[in-house]
Amino acid sequence: MARMAVDVNGDAIPAVRVGTATNTTDTTYAAVSKGVARLTSSAGCTYGINVAASVVLPAGVVEYVSVFAGDVITIAGTCNISEAS
């Protein structure tokens, strides 16, 4: 059964549980399950899902993207990545 995060009023809020994070530099990362991947970069990087890294992720920005098992995330630069559920 799925559980939702709630605010102080007991209302549901969208949230994901972040798994183990990995710092990667100029590499590819294979998603192991269907869900959400969390990407962030302290210096800025680019990434792509099943394509070349072309989406710009500015420094300090956190991005959540949908992934499926077997998707390959290509990273150019240094990025912190984690799968979330």
Residue 9 lies in a domain: no
- What residues make up the domain containing 59? 32-85
Contact in structure between 72 and 48 (CB atoms under 8 Å):
no
Q: Residues 6 or more apart from 3 whose CB is under 8 A from it?
A: none
Residue 55 lies in a domain: yes
| Strand intervals (E) in the chain | 5-6, 12-13, 22-30, 35-40, 45-49, 55-57, 62-67, 72-84
Provide the 8-state DSSP code for 18. B
Is 3 a residue whose pLDDT tops 80?
no
Tokens found for residue 36:
């959400």
Q: Model confidence over 34-68: pLDDT tens digits?
A: 888 999 998 899 999 999 999 999 999 999 999 99
Kindly indicate the confidence band of residue 1, based on its pLDDT and cuts at 50, 70 and 90: very low
Residue 27 lies in a domain: no
How many folded domains does the chain comprise?
1
Answer yes or no: pTM beyond 0.75.
yes
Kindly indicate the confidence band of residue 2, based on its pLDDT and cuts at 50, 70 and 90: low
| Residue 56 to residues 7, 8, 12, 19, Cα–Cα distance (Å) | 32, 35, 31, 23
Residue 13 lies in a domain: no
Residue 14 lies in a domain: no
